[in-house]
Amino acid sequence: MIRIAIIMGSTRPGRNGEAVAKWAYEIASRRTDAQFELIDLLDYNLPLLDEPHPAQMQQYTREHTKIWSEKINPFDGFVFVTPEYNHSTSAALKNAIDFLAMEWKNKVAAYVGYGANGAIRAVEHLRQIMAQFQTASIRNQLTLSLFTDFENNAFKPAPRHEKTLGSMLDQLVDWARTLKTLRKEKQQ
């Protein structure tokens, strides 16, 4: 079975991303073509990157890195739920990504962004970051506006977003299945 992690990319108090990620997870969980798991960066309490060796070496010395690696490694794909802070993704998400390398390799990512402009710039930065790890990024993405998809800080997505999310997940699962086959062939 294909396993997909939906990663909440913000640890900020009062974050909008928690409602967004839970909404995406609820919709994704109705599917039968993959297993989805919601991952909250707050649960991992990662400090600023403190490993002495490059992540590609997988010579982790810190317990929090080992736990993070064990959590991420089994997944075939990822949905990053990202805010846009100052034209980029959150520092917490970037930091969490930087702790690892091989755990992202030859897998696939999709993006749900929220912000004044739908977090388009944050997603573009994430696409570049994930390319470094040979993580494929699917074309479709979901952009949510703080002006039209939130009302008095409550998440109220337009109905059309569920269809967009479904199409994005279709692509994600297809790519995850293909890349899982590739990873298996490379291990033989």
User: Structural domain boundaries of the chain?
Assistant: 3-187
**Average pLDDT rounded to a whole number, residues 63-82:** 98
| Cβ-based neighbour number of residue 108 at 10 Å | 27
Angstrom distance (rounded) from CA 9 to CA 92: 7
Does the domain spanning 3-187 belong to CATH 3.40.50.300?
no
DSSP state of 188: -
Q: What is the pLDDT of residues 90-104, one digit of tens each?
A: 999 999 999 999 999
**Contact between residue 59 and residue 53 where contact means Cβ atoms under 8 Å apart:** yes
In the chain, pLDDT over 90 holds for what percent of residues? 96
In the chain, pLDDT over 70 holds for what percent of residues? 100
144 pLDDT higher than 80: yes
Pair of tokens at residue 173: 């699962």
Residue 9: pLDDT band with limits 50, 70, 90: very high
pTM score above 0.85:
yes
Confidence at residue 169, expressed as pLDDT on a 0 to 100 scale = 98
127 pLDDT higher than 90: yes
39 pLDDT higher than 90: yes
Q: What's CA 158's distance to the chain center, in Å?
A: 22
Residue 188: pLDDT band with limits 50, 70, 90: confident
Q: Where are the beta strands (DSSP E) in the chain?
A: 3-8, 35-40, 77-83, 108-115, 136-137, 142-145, 150-151, 154-155
Angstrom distance (rounded) from CA 118 to CA 146: 8
